Amino acid sequence: MSSEINIQFKVQPGGSLHGNIRVPGDKSISHRSIMLGSLAEGVTHVSGFLEGDDALATLKAFRAMGVQIDGPDDGKVVIHGVGMHGLKAPVGVLDVGNSGTSIRLMAGLLAGQGFDVEMVGDASLSKRPMRRVTEPLALMGAKIDTGEGGTPPLYVHGDSPLKGINYTLPMASAQVKSCVLLAGMYAEGDTSVTEPAPTRDHTERMLQGFGYEVKRDGSTATLTGGGSLKAADIDVPSDISSAAFFMVAATIAADSDVTLEHVGVNPTRTGVIDILRLMGAQIDLINEGEVGGEPVADIRIRSSKLKGIHIPEDLVPLAIDEFPALFIAAACADGKTVLTGAEELRVKESDRIQVMADGLIRMGINAEPTTDGIVIEGGQMAGAEVVSHGDHRIAMSFAVAALRTQGEMIINDCANVTTSFPNFVSLASDAGLKIELMD
């Protein structure tokens, strides 16, 4: 979405949150359902699909490569798979907007196709590092050119025979792991990826769901090239990254009691729950079950008095997208919260460490960015005008901060909230946040 119009959130201070809330479908699973459903044999039915800009960018890209996809209609999508080798060269470039997941995972899939393709993105995506995927793909025999400095656009040259590799990730990244495994389906022999710390495993789970065997041995995932995918039905659970804003909101706002329904609680994604509990939050998982290989639960959160902690580094990859919201929790906690081992946050949709620190400082909070994290001293937040730099998670985090500020919050540059959470303002407003959308 163009950020030329300044979409603003204006949020009045105070309030408490109540009720049952169903946040939109999981972004990671929505992306992967389109990719694997398109390459499967047969028809895949998806429900709970996230109709946000990022997941829609993936859907449009596969349509542009000749896949018939019906919907989305109220979260329902029907994908008429074309098989592993049925994609066709798109007419023109594939524009994936703001979506890092689309460009990095599709780089792996497209490296195995018989045609050339160019992928581009918006101004924010065009600054994000791509060598982390192009380097392992080159080791497999792929030919991919990047823009200057290793950023998009990506030019993927088809008809390059791929061979399997054993790749050890230099840093924990689900996107890089997924990219290499997806390319591995088109490679000769075995492809294995070893990660230094656990990251989200939606790709491995969904490959299994589509009948493609993935062997797991400790921190290594391995698959053999040349297999096929069989259509499967997918019920996408609610996205824990979107639920995180309401978890923090209900924790910091007085007299709050909120239940978030049908949330994906994949153990590679629940760092936000573990970190909030360590800070003293009252969070209960109820109605636990499993849908399509993915664990789900309702999550009940009540107001709590938080204390500052040193965040354990082993939880960092399990909460990487939730830190902007967690920084607001830290600003409301007694004492100091210290985050280390999170340099990845500097190359997200924005430099999330710096942008959050800048905003918190404007709000009167002592926040010191470090190369790989931040130190936040809890205190009384003042209302302020802050800039989200087009980063959806920053915008939503500062919005929930208003529950504990002494004056109103004005957040600029919020258009990209539609990438992950199109109905954020209406859901938050219904639950008790005093938020308005201005442009």
What are the residue numbers of the active site?
Answer: 321
Beta bridge partners of 324: none
Beta bridge partners of 70: 78
Cα–Cα nearest to 269, from 29, 75, 56, 21 = 29
Q: Which residues of 202-221 are buried (b: 16+ CB within 10 A; e: fewer)?
A: bbbbbbebbebebeeeeeeb
Angstrom distance (rounded) from CA 115 to CA 232: 27
CB atoms within 10 A of CB 366: 14
CB-CB contact of 252 with 263 (8 Å): no
Angstrom distance (rounded) from CA 373 to CA 343: 6
Region of 226 please: left (phi>0), alpha (psi -120 to 50) or beta.
Answer: left
Phi, psi of 179, rounded to the nearest 5 degrees: -55, -45
Cα–Cα nearest to 248, from 330, 172, 148, 141 = 330
Beta bridge partners of 264: 296
Give the amino acid at 267.
Answer: P
Helical spans, DSSP H, in 120-270? 131-139, 174-184, 202-209, 240-252
- Contacting residues for 424 by C-beta, under 8 A, at least 6 apart: 242, 245, 396, 399, 417
> Could you tell me how far CA 328 lies from the centroid of its own chain?
19
DSSP secondary structure code for residue 366 in this structure: E
Beta pairing, strands 215-217 & 220-224: antiparallel
- Give ∠ CA 176-156-54 in degrees, rounded to 5: 55
- N-terminal to C-terminal alpha carbon distance within the chain: 14
